[in-house]
Chains A and B, each alone.
Chain A
Amino acid sequence: MSEELEQYNFDFHRETAEIVRDGSEELKIKIGEFAGPLDLLLFLIKQEQANIFDIPIAKITQKYLEYIQIMKQLDIAVAADFLVMAATLIEIKSKMLLPRDPKAIGEEEEFEDPRQELVDRLMEYEKFKSAAGMLYERSTIEQAIFTRGPIESDDNNAEVDASVFDLLTVFQKIAARHVDEIKMEIEREEISLADMIKSLKARIFELGEVNLLEFFEEMRSKRELVTAFVAVLEIVRTETVKLLQKTTFGDIILRKAA
């Protein structure tokens, strides 16, 4: 379906009608860049090169309705506001078709053009549209200006959530240290993962928090260290505990979540 849409050709104002593929999964359809019905109306008036004070209402209404039709064909949910404007246009059109009250003829100053209110709204809207353009330009300029980055001081360096990668770094640090240690062949009972989880859990709940570096240091073999590491991962996954790192490259603390 998306392929079909991409080849869709618009009969009118192709220059603003475009279909934009956003990423590979999401297909975004952008018909021009109309911010609302007034925006669309202004576009149509300009396209017809019509005078805003003397809008050819029949023609503009027809174009407007065609446009809404296209939106419907493209399965775009036509916002209610666009339909309200369509109704307003049709109302104005019908009012203009009505013959004027013969008694009122000659009293030119009392005759109010049915289009007047719409013109006022369009004029008011266009000012803000221009103001929006001004803001756009300003923000573009501002984006080209940079201030210095924040200085890392203890004040603004709040506790940050440590990631699994930070955890891995700590693990590697200790594993590397273990390599240098003199190996002694001593038969000992290996602690199981279940026991390791149990003992770590008990420690967290007793002390409130456990410094991971210290915890890993206690391990007597690489095997135990790996078991301890897996236990930490398991506890973080299943229990209400948080990994915290107070400073960049600082110790990671396992804390009972409040």
Chain B
Amino acid sequence: MSEEVEVQEIESTPRSPAELMTIVEALVFVADEPVNSRVLADVLDEDRGAIEAAMEELAKEYEAREGGLQIRSIAGGWQIATRTELHEEVRKFLKTRPSAKLSLASLETLAVIAYKQPVTVPEILEIRGVQSATSIKTLLDKRLIVAKGRKEAVGRPMMYGTSKDFLIQFGLRDLSELPSIEDFEDLVQ
């Protein structure tokens, strides 16, 4: 009995920062979507701060190595991905072409939703000055936006907001990483 306790104690010896970096690197590599540090902390029974520190250190290491991969903080998690500069070679190897771009109308609608969420269709119409039904359908189909319940107003219109896929596809850590909409005002004038 006492031996068992001892064994457990050995197992729970705090991992060194270097060890932790090795482990989180492996876990982030096998994950098929950005992994939150809280998930890693739970699995490894470690402090979330320690995980974050390990990931940041790892990201620096990758950066310093100037290899083909990078570690990114995206959509509230960590991810291992290829470097932007290598896109031509990667694309050639994967035999893929850049996927179809969103139309100008869809991008505008998405911008309004991203900044004004949760927002209703009539509110989008007011800003864009044009019906956005088709764009909203496209954005829903591409899972860039999601319904966020109904507004307590006449007709109880549906409200929309951006999704996690939006963060991933636009390379954002979270919504606060979007530049402030007021910053665009300077460009306008």
| Contacts from A to B (Cβ < 8 Å) | 33, 35-39, 79-82, 85, 121, 123-136, 138-148, 150-151, 156
Contacts and interface: CB of A to CB of B under 8 A. Distances in A.
A38 B128 contact: yes
B129 A132 contact: no
B50 interface: no
A35 B105 contact: yes
A139 B30 contact: no
B129 A151 contact: no
22 contacts: A35-B108, A36-B105, A37-B129, A39-B104, A123-B185, A126-B188, A127-B181, A128-B111, A128-B127, A129-B111, A132-B104, A132-B107, A133-B107, A135-B107, A135-B111, A136-B101, A136-B102, A136-B107, A142-B169, A143-B98, A145-B82, A147-B79
A146 B169 contact: no
A145 to B, nearest CB: 5
B87 A145 contact: yes
A124 B127 contact: yes
B170 A139 contact: yes
Nearest to A41: B129
Nearest to A151: B30
Contact of B108 (A132, A138, A142, A146): A132
A43 B127 CA distance: 17
Nearest to A145: B81
The 4 closest A-B pairs by CB, nearest first: A36-B130, A144-B87, A131-B111, A132-B107
A138 to B, nearest CB: 5
B131 interface: yes
B179 A127 contact: no
A253 to B, nearest CB: 27
Given A128-B112, A146-B82, A146-B90, A38 B130 contact: yes
Nearest to A81: B130
Given A128-B181, A132-B108, A151-B32, 13 more contacts: A33-B104, A35-B108, A35-B128, A79-B130, A82-B130, A123-B185, A125-B129, A128-B127, A131-B114, A131-B115, A131-B181, A132-B111, A142-B169
A134 B129 contact: no
Interface of B: 29-30, 32, 70, 72, 79-84, 87, 90, 94, 98-99, 101-105, 107-108, 110-112, 114-115, 127-131, 169-172, 179, 181-182, 184-185, 187-188
Contacts, number: 118
A156 B31 CA distance: 13
Contacts of B107: 132-133, 135-136
A245 to B, nearest CB: 22
A77 to B, nearest CB: 12
A43 to B, nearest CB: 12
Contacts of A126: 184, 188
Contact of A36 (B102, B128, B185): B128
A81 B127 CA distance: 12
Contacts of A151: 30, 32
Nearest to A142: B171
